[in-house]
Amino acid sequence: MCRSGLFNPVEERGKKNLPELQSNRKLLMKILEKVKYLLRFFYHKQVQINFPIPILRQYIDYKWHLPEGYKICSPDANVDLKAWADLLNLDGQFGQWTSEKVKSDIVSQMITPDAASLMFFKNHLVGCSSSIDQSSPKCKLGIGMWLMINPSHRGKRKIVHALTFRSLAIFAMLNYDKVVAFTDAYRLPAIYFYLSNGCLPEYDSLYSFIQWWRIKKRLKPALERAKSHKSNWRNNGAV
């Protein structure tokens, strides 16, 4: 039977070209991925910090000794998402947080309840940290996220120490290959804390060499002070 009366050349041409279009699209995506990879080789805005697994291992089941009035715990089902969002909003540079965003971007990403930590002072939420899994078939990778301390509770080493290492120790416990965090190069208090506690700069793009050179130059006096403090402490038999 002749169906020439129903023949629609545009539709037929579209049908015939569909596989071709799909394979062109795939090729284009592959090229875009390669371009992105290449750009990433030259430039990445944030710096990457490596948390060596042997350091994290020390904090598995660690008993945190906090200043009086402070308490650290994992979020549970009754967690106050609004208080968490308000805390993250104090930074101003972490984007706009709401209870829903905390739930979708943090709570639902946690691999176990201990993958996040909340610091309370007399029942008020004053600090938080969390982590996510970004593993690939080749590498079990954990990432530290959203470390934040209310400005009136900063400058107490034990607080930042507990918040940072408690949420990452879980990756050492689960035998992850690598644990990292990303941060802005201007966040010197955070970077100073990481570097003075054995964490290492990752040189993950050409630009990162410049960034780390600048950061180390700015932090040199503080890092040297921290180092001599530690060695005096050891020489006095405190360890």
Ligand X SMILES: CC(C)(COP(=O)(O)OP(=O)(O)OC[C@H]1O[C@@H](n2cnc3c(N)ncnc32)[C@H](O)[C@@H]1OP(=O)(O)O)[C@@H](O)C(=O)NCCC(=O)NCCS
Q: Which residues bind ligand X (CB under 6 A)?
A: 91, 147-149, 154-157, 159-160, 181, 183, 187-190, 192-193, 219, 222, 226
Determine contact, residues 195/219, Cβ cutoff 8 Å: yes
The least CB distance from residue 238 to ligand X, in Å, is: 16
Pick the closer one to ligand X by CB: 13 or 45: 45
The tokens for 35 are 């371009």
Q: What is the CA radius of gyration of the chain?
A: 24
What is the Cα–Cα distance from 153 to 160, expressed in whole angstroms? 10
The tokens for 33 are 């991925």
What is the Cα–Cα distance from 126 to 88, expressed in whole angstroms? 10
Task: Output the furthest CA–CA distance in the chain (Å, rounded).
Answer: 100
The least CB distance from residue 225 to ligand X, in Å, is: 8
What is the Cα–Cα distance from 219 to 217, expressed in whole angstroms? 6
Residues found in the chain:
239
Pick the closer one to ligand X by CB: 129 or 205: 129
**Tokens 């945190």 — which residue?**
64
Pick the closer one to ligand X by CB: 82 or 157: 157
The least CB distance from residue 177 to ligand X, in Å, is: 21
The least CB distance from residue 168 to ligand X, in Å, is: 12
> How many CB atoms sit inside 10 A of residue 171's CB?
27
The least CB distance from residue 224 to ligand X, in Å, is: 11
> How many CB atoms sit inside 10 A of residue 181's CB?
25
The least CB distance from residue 21 to ligand X, in Å, is: 43
Pick the closer one to ligand X by CB: 122 or 138: 122
What is the Cα–Cα distance from 32 to 39, expressed in whole angstroms? 10
Pick the closer one to ligand X by CB: 46 or 99: 46
Pick the closer one to ligand X by CB: 73 or 226: 226
What one-character DSSP code corresponds to residue 143?
Answer: E
